[in-house]
Structure 1
């Protein structure tokens, strides 16, 4: 009986050591910055398309705001990543191609507004999550600085969206 207890205890001990540690649910600073960078680049690209293709002045103006605000946010993000010694992959920093759904949309203004509304809702949620659960204090501070602008973008595009309906 003693041998059986010792074997069970050893097996339980080995099983505890053999478990693979789960990743920190923090969504690491690096992962967050990669996703935020890609989102910035997508907003700039879509904004450039809106400046060229939008028919409505408010949509064109919103596109200009996307180019300016997300372009500036991207520069800050790259500086932040550099200060944290976080290297971002080329896919997150090399610019994005035009979204074919926007480029080929029959009603560009409507497609752009819908994409911006959904995208900014998702981005605000992602930033709010990092603001509460993120571990890197400098990244967290930048996120908290950016949230009011992102929320303003979301409110602005929701207003335009209501006018289109």
Structure 2
């Protein structure tokens, strides 16, 4: 009798652990993983902008990115943990590649490429965050809703810098 209960218990444990791995693959869990990677990438690019930027505006924007995305990373990590998602510890391969590409530039060339990337990236991020904010998955959805105003502020700043840069040509 005891042996049968042990077997049944093991089946339940194995089933639950398999279900747990599957549950992590929900769209919200994929979103929060990408969000953390995005925050890590923005922190890195913000630091790069402070080092390589040709204007005070780009350097200041870089500082804003580091500050805001560091806070967002902490919030996203807390949301991931509450949803039992293991948070990533580094940006994606594509994000690292973009950092490497920009790290070879400086001054005006850096500013143009960096600003263009920030406009494109923040438009894409806002769309993804808006989609996630419409879900009602608790902590992850709440994180997305809370992050949207900051992402919009970043897009507005990047677009303003883009206009300034084009006017200076």
List gaps (5 residues or longer) in structure 2. Answer: 1-24
Which whole-Å CA distance do the structure 2 matches of 1:100 and 1:109 have between them? 15
TM-score normalised per structure 1: 0.76
Query: Aligned-pair distance for 1:85?
Result: 1.5
Q: Tell me which residue corresponds to 1:102.
A: 102
Give me the whole-angstrom Cα distance separating, in 2, the residues matched to 1:51 and 1:127: 26
TM-superposed deviation, 1:88:
2.9
Shift of 1:139: 1.2
How many Å apart are 1:121 and its aligned residue?
Answer: 0.7
Deviations 1:92-120 (A, max 9, x none): 59xx7571210113611111111111111
Larger of the two Rg values belongs to structure: 1
For these two proteins, the number of residue pairs brought into alignment is 139
Q: In structure 2, how many angstroms separate the alpha carbons of the residues matched to 1:27 and 1:126?
A: 15
TM-score by length of 2: 0.74
Judged with a 3 Å threshold, the aligned counterparts in structure 2 of structure 1 residues 53 and 104 are, in CA distance, closer, same or farther, namely same
Partner of 2:15: none
Following the alignment from structure 1 to structure 2, what is the Cα–Cα distance between the partners of residues 56 and 91?
Answer: 28
Confirm or deny: 8 A CA contact 2:40 2:90 kept in the other structure: no
Could you list the structure 1 runs, at least 4 aligned residues long, displaced by more than 6 angstroms after superposition: none
Q: Please, what is the CA RMSD of the aligned residues? A: 2.4
Whole-angstrom distance in 2 between the partners of 1:82 and 1:137: 12
Cα distance in structure 1, aligned partners of 2:110 and 2:40: 19
Q: In 1, Cα distance between the equivalents of 2:104 and 2:91?
A: 24
The structure with more helix, counted as a fraction of residues: 2
2:121 aligns with: 119
How many angstroms does 1:91 deviate by? Answer: 4.6
